Structure 1
Amino acid sequence: MPPAPKAAPGPTGAPGKTPAPSRSPAPPSPTPTPTAPASPAAPEPAPEPCPEGGVRLVEGSGDAVMGLRLEDYRLVNCGTDEYVLEGYPQVRLFDKRDQLLEVAIGHGSAPITSEVPAVDAPPERVTLAPGQSASMALLWRDRITDVTVPPVEGWVLEVTPKPGAPRLGLRLTRPVDLGNTGQLGVGPWKR
């Protein structure tokens, strides 16, 4: 039979005292990082002056599905008086070189597609107080129907909000890419 194991050695040190549990050393305190003195705030750019006529044209959001495009554009009353709209804006498109594009522009979605509520809604009178906005929608297809005809891209939108009002130009961040269909549908002003 094997001999019994020896007892484990006891604590070392002075009799009757147990050694203190070991602690990991405290992490070093972080050294302060010098901070740059606060610089004076950069002045905000001066607001763009309100165009003649008291309204500004702004690019909105868009939607594209299988070549069908729907974009909205807002007209913001940046003037001091009410601005009344009714019906449809007059629209023209220009290319990157600011050349007028030959485009068939009509009211509503036909013959581009079937009914689209944003474009086919009946016109109504919209009165904008200062700071308020109205929107209008453009609808088109990016489709190539004839490979011998170069595709058309509109990069500048010109809008006359109502008869007799000054024209407003807007350089676009997304083109009106008509392919070579040459058709554009315009919706009425709506709140």
Structure 2
Amino acid sequence: MGLRVADFQLVNCGDQPYALEGYPQLSLRDDRNDAVPVAVEHGAAGITTGASNLDEAPRPVTLAPGQAASFGMVWRNLVTDSAVPATTARIVEVEPRPGAPRLWLRLAAPVDLGNTGRLGLGPWRPMTR
């Protein structure tokens, strides 16, 4: 079935509260750092029904120093059209909140979208540590 999921964490390493709201801005890049075309959708609808945490309503999250928040992604490694090349990304580029510096996360295992071109994204969620 090719279902893939990943979770990412953001830790407030500063000395002031860090506010997050809604969803991070997300893009993908390949091995040459070129942008990978992908439709980022809020939630898991249309990809799977088994990722309820991705379908939660977004809510404001304020991180005190040392606290963490996370978001999840879901996709399928699925080839639906043999004439369309499969897409693979090794870098997830995340903007935690509007205007914040973009973070480049180089992955050990790729985001292998097949040729679906779709990625489901969950909202920020506070974490307990």
TM-score by length of structure 1 reads: 0.64
What is the CA deviation profile of residues 74-112 of structure 1, one whole-angstrom value per residue up to 9, with x for unaligned ones? 011111111011100000000011010110111011221
Answer yes or no: is 1:153 the counterpart of 2:91: no
3-state SS of 1:75 partner: strand
- Give the corresponding residue for 2:30: 95
Q: Which structure has more strand as a fraction of its residues?
A: 2
- Give the corresponding residue for 1:182: 117
Query: For the residues of structure 2 that align with 1:84 and 1:147, how far apart are their CA atoms?
Result: 44
> Which structure is larger by alpha-carbon Rg, 1 or 2?
1
Query: For the residues of structure 1 that align with 2:113 and 2:4, how far apart are their CA atoms?
Result: 9
Q: Following TM superposition, where does structure 1 have runs of at least 4 consecutive aligned residues deviating by more than 4 angstroms?
A: none
Q: What is the total number of aligned residue pairs between the two structures?
A: 126
Higher RCO, 1 vs 2 (CA within 8 Å, ≥6 residues apart): 2
List runs of 5+ in structure 1 lacking aligned partners.
1-65
List runs of 5+ in structure 2 lacking aligned partners.
none
- Give the corresponding residue for 2:13: 78
Query: For the residues of structure 1 that align with 2:47 and 2:82, how far apart are their CA atoms?
Result: 19
Query: For the residues of structure 2 that align with 1:96 and 1:118, how far apart are their CA atoms?
Result: 30
Q: Percent identity?
A: 55
Answer yes or no: is 1:117 the counterpart of 2:117: no
- Give the corresponding residue for 1:162: 97
Query: For the residues of structure 1 that align with 2:101 and 2:42, how far apart are their CA atoms?
Result: 21
Corresponding letter in the other structure for 1:81: Q
Query: Residue 149 of structure 1: CA displacement?
Result: 1.6
Query: Residue 113 of structure 1: CA displacement?
Result: 2.0
Please point out which of 62, 70, 79 is paired with 1:144: 79
Query: For the residues of structure 2 that align with 1:175 and 1:98, how far apart are their CA atoms?
Result: 13
TM-score by length of structure 2 reads: 0.93
- Give the corresponding residue for 1:132: 67
